[in-house]
Chain A
Amino acid sequence: MTENYLRFWGVRGSYPAPFDSHCKVGGNTSCVEIRVGDQVLVCDAGSGIIPLGNELMKQDDIRELTVILTHYHWDHISGLPFFVPAFVPGWKIHFFGPGETEHDIAKHISDQMKAPYFPVETETWLADVKYLESGLNPLDIGSIHIEHFNVHHPGSTFGYRIQAGDTTIVYASDNELAFIDESIERRKPEFDAHEQNLLDAMKEEERRRVREFMQDVDLLIHDAQYTPEDYRKKRGWGHSCYIDTVNSAIDAGVKDLYLFHVDPNYDDDQIDVIHKHSDEIIKKANSSMRCHVAREGMRIDLG
């Protein structure tokens, strides 16, 4: 019997948060599994990929998977040194992510597994590991269709639009929304009337750009790291305030929003408050969008 589903294995931003007070949401960093029949697609390889690897080792039917990385910050690759299938012969693992060449992708992944930071190198991986041609867009993995786009985060960082069966998913774990809006507001008084018109057009253009990648998706998994108070202190760190995430998703006609990459400093109670406020925003906007907090272990049936 084949199954189509999406499962969250890691939902935290920045670093693992293995605390009792955080257990309802979960402490592992970014990792999402998308399963369509016997195709396994893994979005990011944060610490959440470790339990996913252990789970995969319990079965014999599947021996191949593809990992698509948004970028190479530690919270997105730190699970790989402990990802058991990579060390086992007979497994086939394909990696894809930002980079000019396959060699770039290989280098970014393997650099964290080097002395003195780690005792064994990726050369000890016994799986058949392939790095996919970096320019591939779209990328098709069996029946899963994947397009990548650039997002607002330090360095070269991808978001992914994924067609899995009848479900359209956007995975944008790290993306700072509305950054330019404030840059414009801060400087607006210095500009003359004609320039100010262009600035308004620039804000609208940015709004359109965001709407374009989220437009009408079934499942949006998006950066919602900060409260407004923390965002004020951490503007320019590459992450969104959850209010901007919710408003952008409403604007784009998203069906189900999953608040993702939540700050490791927030415990379950704080995240409940964020969730309630998000629901209030949606209600006030008369939107039919459903909002969820992505929780470790949560499984969504893809039909």
Chain B
Amino acid sequence: MPGKSPEIVVIDDSLTSISLYELSIGPLDVKLRSFQSPTESLSYLQDHGVDLVFLDVLMREKDGLTLLKKLRGMKRHQNTVVVMVTSKDYHQDRHIARGLGVREYLVKPLRSQEIREIICKYTDAQPKPGH
């Protein structure tokens, strides 16, 4: 019996970045849920466990590191796999992110193939039939 498709959450206020994630997951059997609003993402994550979170840092409403602290404060997300994907390439941000248990800190732009590799590395994602 096939397993449940992994659920991936993207939190990024850039519509273009979200389009890139949507393009990237094409060949994979995963469920992608994207949020441009960090606040809305937190409301969702409060009630849902997920397999992987891609999180931006520089967002208008709330910065990703502050959001990550809140996320880690939720019991169900203490160990959720989080990968930062951001335009910010600073030691201070990497250091804070590492302290909050992120698996990887990647600097934009990423290729679709790189996004797929991250998904396959941290989830049980399988190719969609026919891919």
Q: Which residues of A contact B (CB under 8 A)?
A: 98, 100, 149-156, 179-180, 183-184, 187, 190-191, 194-195, 198-199, 201-202, 205-206, 209, 236, 238
Tell me the smallest distance from the CB of A210 to a CB of chain B, in Å: 11
The answer to whether residues A205 and B19 also contact, given A184-B109, A195-B111 and a CB cut-off of 8 A, is no
Q: Which of these, A155, A202, A209, A238, contacts B109 with CB under 8 Å?
A: A202
* B88→A152 contact, CB < 8 A: yes
Residue of A153, A156, A187, A238 with most partner-chain B CB within 10 A:
A156
B60 touches A156 (CB 8 A): no
Q: How far is the CA of A202 from the CA of B85 in the complex (A)?
A: 14
| B62 proximity list for chain A (CB < 8 A) | 150
Q: Are A191 and B109 in contact (CB under 8 A)?
A: yes
The 8 A CB mask of B47-61 against A (1 = contact, 0 = none) is 000000000001110
B46 to chain A: which residues have CB within 8 Å?
none
- Chain B 51-94 residues near chain A, CB threshold 8 A: 58-60, 62-63, 65-66, 69-70, 87-93
**Chain B residue, CB-CB nearest to A202:** B16
In Å, the complex CA distance between A98 and B96 comes to 14
- The contact string, 1 if C-beta is below 8 Å from chain A, for chain B 94-116, is 00100000000001110110000
| Closest chain B CB from A205 CB (angstroms) | 5
Q: How far is the CB of A75 from chain B (nearest CB, A)?
A: 15
- Alpha-carbon distance A206/B12, docked complex (angstroms): 13
Residues of A within 8 A of B89 (CB): 179, 183, 236
Flag whether B118 is at the interface (Cβ < 8 A).
no
B112 in contact with A195 (CB, 8 Å): yes
Contact B87 A150 (CB under 8 A): no
Give the number of A-B contacts (CB < 8 Å). Answer: 72
Asked if A149 meets B109 with Cβ closer than 8 Å, knowing A155-B92, A198-B20, A205-B15, the reply is no
CA–CA, A100 and B87, complex, Å: 22
CB distance from B11 to the nearest CB of A (A): 14
Complex interface: chain B residues within 8 A of A201 (CB) = 16, 19
Q: Least Cβ distance of A198 to chain B in Å?
A: 5
Cα A205 to Cα B36 in complex, Å, equals 14
Task: Give the residue of B70, B87, B107 whose beta carbon is less than 8 angstroms from that of A152.
Answer: B87
Residues of A within 8 A of B92 (CB): 154-155
A-B contact pairs, 19 of them (CB 8 A): A100-B69, A150-B59, A150-B60, A152-B87, A152-B88, A154-B88, A154-B90, A154-B92, A155-B96, A156-B66, A179-B87, A179-B88, A183-B108, A194-B23, A199-B109, A201-B16, A201-B19, A202-B17, A205-B15
Smallest CB separation, B34 vs chain A (Å): 14
Assuming the A-B contacts A100-B69, A198-B20, A206-B87, are A180 and B60 also in contact, with contact meaning beta carbons closer than 8 angstroms in the complex?
no
Verify B111–A202 contact, CB threshold 8 A: no
The answer to whether A150 touches B58 (Cβ under 8 A) is yes
Query: Closest 9 CB pairs between A and B?
Result: A154-B92, A154-B90, A180-B87, A201-B16, A202-B16, A155-B92, A150-B63, A156-B63, A205-B16
Beta-carbon contact of A155 and B17 below 8 Å: no
**Least CB distance, A208 to chain B, in whole angstroms:** 10
**How long is the Cα–Cα vector from A151 to B60 in the complex, in angstroms?**
9
Look across to chain A and name the residue whose beta carbon is closest to the beta carbon of B112.
A195
Beta-carbon contact of A198 and B23 below 8 Å? yes
Complex CA–CA separation, A149 to B59 (angstroms)? 9
**Minimum C-beta distance from B57 to chain A (A):** 8
